[in-house]
Structure 1
Amino acid sequence: MIHIAHDDPARGDVHQLLSEHLADMFATSPAESVHALDPSALSGPSITFWTAREEGELLGCGALKILHSPHSSETFGEIKSMRTTAGARGRGVATLVLRHILDEARSRNYGRIYLETGTEEYFAPARRLYARNGFTECPPFAGYALDPNSVFMELRLGAKD
């Protein structure tokens, strides 16, 4: 059974997975278009980080970053560092982690969830995952700028905008 729980991004196996993630991001996108966070940034106070494990084995991870609306007191979220291990791909781990993050965002009464992902073919599975779960493309958010290497997506969660 797969369990999703808070975890430490600096934990050995998690740090290794995040290092692979960052390496892949820099291998597929220009440096100025890489928005992935390193383990120390994922440990920040505005981020909640989870891992998916089965019998202690790391299968994947994901994070939720708090965003504040500049125009209201509304709070939103941004998905960061969604990643599955090579051995866990195709098992639905990313969907489980994503749904966990969305459930948490709803419990916090976030109005929307945003994310940034790449435009390259490498990111096509991620874009399909997000689209299957109701995300649609949107303009840049939270300080991001238009970038031909980035796709910005949002999901309205039903809280007031």
Structure 2
Amino acid sequence: MTRKQRRLTLIGVAGCILAIALGLVLYAMNDTIVFFNSPADVQAKNVQPGTRFRLGGLVKEGSVQRGDNQQVAFEIMDGQGSIRVNYTGMLPDLFREGQGVIAEGALEHSGVFRADSVLAKHDENYMPREVADTLRRQGLWQGDSKASQQTQ
């Protein structure tokens, strides 16, 4: 075998090893490569307490309760279910009832979601595609045609 053939063989074997490693990593992360889970998804998957994930949906009307020291409790709903969320910190300026939101954190043993961060839609025409698609499938959100075009 010449030097060139050995080098090409070595590069080919290294490429195969990297491809296998990448495949194994993606397979291991299969359930965690999700932008968010809706409350119905969380209940259907029977998510264990302590598991970190993103929870997305609409802020339920009349559910926002503000406490001391920037503590806020509210519910995120998707039409088939809702989950209580506790958050301590500054909420985005655009956070309000009836609007799309994604909270990142962990589920507690009591079934309450403890959020580390809360993301709200950034203007009056935008909703994350995953949230909009989930709400459209459930018949809760129609959106206007301009907003629908922007999410796609």
Q: TM-score range by the shorter chain?
A: under 0.3
TM-score by length of 2: 0.25
Q: TM-score, normalised by structure 1?
A: 0.24
Larger radius of gyration: 2
More strand by percentage: 1
